[in-house]
């Protein structure tokens, strides 16, 4: 791939191929793709990268308890503060539900903060030398988003995260932390299109042999 312009050696646009995989679109040039090894290799790699997103898309999503009352409370407060102003619901809900936003000519994609947290946790756990993701001073594996063990915040298409790691005894911690940073940054940006602007990594414990 030509990293300067996002095109493969054959001239195919990598962004178009990514949309084809992510949105299950037909190829723009079926004959070329079928015969081109560069396109076939890129499509295979993109399909593997998108598999985690497909798995997350099929997971059952439950609304947080009290979401409706929180939304209505915010609406009533906004109306009381500015009774003569129209209230745009889209300006209220994202502050409560917390989605990252990706804008494109075809529309806006919202990615729930909890999805990003799950992706980060899975990626950290898949890194050799990481035993678990955990808050300091607690035991057991934390869920995808938890204060201390794994926290995620979003601002538009920017993601900030903090992750606490329990590492295996004997690993070189600086090298492991660097590997975790690189892997999480790569996975978040490739699988979601978001930018990981800040990633704080804390080693909170060393697992027993």
pLDDT one-digit tens code per residue, 113-150: 888 888 999 999 999 999 988 875 444 333 333 444 78
State the pLDDT at residue 148. Answer: 44
Cα–Cα distance for residue pair 184/127, rounded to 1 Å = 9
Interval 157-172 mean pLDDT = 91
Q: Is the pLDDT of residue 55 over 90?
A: no
pTM summary value: 0.51
Q: Do residues 27 and 21 touch, judged by C-beta distance below 8 A?
A: no
Distance, CA of 147 to CA of 161 (rounded, Å): 11
pLDDT at position 84: 67
Torsion of CA 79, 84, 90, 93, to 10 degrees: -10
9-51 confidence digits (pLDDT tens):
888 887 788 878 877 788 888 899 999 998 898 888 888 877 8
Residues 112/145, Cβ–Cβ less than 8 Å = no
Match domain 110-207 to its CATH number in 3.30.70.1350, 3.40.605.10, 2.60.40.1930, 3.40.50.1820.
3.30.70.1350
Buried b / exposed e over 170-194, threshold 16 CB at 10 Å, is: ebeeeebbebbbebbbebbeebbbb
Write down the pLDDT at residue 152: 87
In sequence order, which residues have a C-beta less than 8 Å from that of residue 17 and are 6 or more positions away?
Answer: 8, 39, 42, 43, 46
Per-residue pLDDT, averaged over 158-175, amounts to 92
- The segment with the largest mean pLDDT, out of 5-9, 23-27, 86-90, is 23-27
DSSP E strands, the chain: 99-104, 107-112, 130-133, 150-155, 158-168, 195-207
What are the phi and psi torsion angles at 122 (to 5°)? -60, -40
Whether 92 and 71 have beta carbons less than 8 Å apart is answered as yes
Q: What is the pLDDT of residue 176?
A: 95
Alpha carbon distance 129, 132 (integer Å): 9
Residue 3 pLDDT grade (very low, low, confident, very high; cuts 50, 70, 90): very low
The rounded distance, in Å, linking the Cα atoms of 155 and 164 is: 22
């Amino acid at each position: 791939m030509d990293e300067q312009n996002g095109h493969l050696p054959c001239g195919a646009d990598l962004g178009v191929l990514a949309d084809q995989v992510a949105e299950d679109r037909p190829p723009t040039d079926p004959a070329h793709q079928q015969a081109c090894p560069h396109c076939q290799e890129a499509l295979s790699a993109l399909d593997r990268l998108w598999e985690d997103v497909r798995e997350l898309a099929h997971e059952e999503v439950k609304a947080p308890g009290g979401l409706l009352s929180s939304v209505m409370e915010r609406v009533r407060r906004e109306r009381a503060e500015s009774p003569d102003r129209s209230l745009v619901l889209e300006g209220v809900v994202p502050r409560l539900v917390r989605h990252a936003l990706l804008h494109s000519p075809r529309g806006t994609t919202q990615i729930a903060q909890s999805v990003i947290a799950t992706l980060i946790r899975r990626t950290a756990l898949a890194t050799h030398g990481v035993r678990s993701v955990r808050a300091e001073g607690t035991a057991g594996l934390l869920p995808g988003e938890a204060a201390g063990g794994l926290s995620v915040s979003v601002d538009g298409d920017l993601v900030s995260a903090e992750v606490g790691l329990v590492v295996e005894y004997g690993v070189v911690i600086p090298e492991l932390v660097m590997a975790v940073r690189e892997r999480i940054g790569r996975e978040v940006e490739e699988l979601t299109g978001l930018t990981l602007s800040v990633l704080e990594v804390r080693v909170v414990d060393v697992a027993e042999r």
